[in-house]
Amino acid sequence: MKRRILLLLSFVMMAMGLSAQSLVFHYYGGKSATVALPATVSLADGKIVVSNDSSSVEINKGEVLTVSYRGKKGDVNGDEQVDIGDVSTILWLIADSEEGETGHEGETEHAPAGVEAVDLGLPSGTLWANMNLGAEKPEDFGSYFAWGETQPKDVYSWDTYSYWNDINGDGKGDSDEMVNLGSDIASTDYDAATVNWGSPWRMPSRTQFKELLDNTTSTWTTQNGINGRKFTGSNGNSIFLPTTGFDGDDQLVYAGSRGHYWSSSPNDELYACYLLFYSGGAYWTNGLRSNGFTVRPVR
């Protein structure tokens, strides 16, 4: 399902007293484009259009070398790449930067009751949800998603994967038959967290998983009879991730013993990065995009 999010930043910018601020987009080859705020921002079909009364900039994937706003520039979302994902991250930073004063105008959040954004004291300021996408409480497994798909389904296999076309008829995932979803699906139409909970919720990037592992204490524990890992930040706050296992070829495996959580970061045409944990430890690795993994949103 295609989404279109319209962020009317004019009210936000005026409320924050930022009418003199600008977004500067730097392109490969030395060119740049500047749009003064307040401006209207549209996100749709992998493009971002930023416009005011006198100018407009349309950004396509892979065009932008860096973008800056109030000292924030470059790899803003921490995915080790500079692309359209950084533009959208900056836009959410604008709308969120004065939390409590602006009332979050421009957001489309519709997360279910009970969802909380937990501050773990991480260097980037990333907030982690207290439960999985599709869950009703922290120890629930929630829903399973193939990478880039936004709705759960009955069977997870290459045959049912939305972004693979079996052109040669061999029944196997082939890189030259895979639809290119871009360098990062966070906050796009392929992001299950954003589609189901609304912005600014999104799937965590590989780098955000690494930050979680590097800046929290992870312990194997049981919560209400469910095995999982508790990640505790330096500020004492924590989140619990249950051992969801994964769904592949119409079979749920490792439920109760391992956790498999998608990131927004691809590895190559067939694989994407995910967080794997069990009783012995936790680390990020790569899994077939057609598998059904769970999602723990961030914002």
Q: What is the pLDDT of residue 95?
A: 46
Task: Classify residue 280 by burial, with Cβ atoms within 10 Å: 0-12, 13-18, 19+.
Answer: exposed
Q: What is the pLDDT of residue 13?
A: 34
- For 77-125, strand residue ranges (E) read 117-119
3 state DSSP class of 271:
strand
Question: How many degrees, rounded to 5, is the angle at CA 252 between CA 272 and CA 133?
Answer: 60
User: Under the phi-then-psi rule, with left for phi > 0, alpha for psi from -120 to 50, and beta for the rest, what region is 169?
Assistant: left
CA distance linking residue 87 with residue 43, whole number of Å: 10
pLDDT band of 130, cuts 50, 70, 90: very high
CA distance linking residue 69 with residue 292, whole number of Å: 37
Provide the CATH topology of domain 4-96: SH3 type barrels. (2.30.30)
Q: What is the pLDDT of residue 260?
A: 98
Q: What is the pLDDT of residue 25?
A: 72
Rounded to the nearest integer, the mean pLDDT of the chain is 81
What confidence tens digit (pLDDT) does each residue in 174-229 have?
777 888 899 999 999 999 999 999 999 999 999 999 999 999 999 999 999 999 99
Query: Is residue 81's pLDDT more than 80?
Result: no
CA distance linking residue 186 with residue 189, whole number of Å: 9
- H runs (alpha helix) in the chain: 9-16, 84-96, 192-197, 206-215
Distance of CA 114 to the CA centre of its chain: 20
Question: Which segments of the chain belong to CATH 2.30.30?
Answer: 4-96
Query: Is residue 165's pLDDT more than 60?
Result: yes
Single-letter amino acid, residue 279: S
Q: What is the pLDDT of residue 72?
A: 52
| Residue in 17, 104, 16, 18 with CA at minimum distance from that of residue 69 | 18
What is the percent of the chain with per-residue pLDDT over 70, rounded to a whole number?
A: 72
Q: What is the pLDDT of residue 291?
A: 97
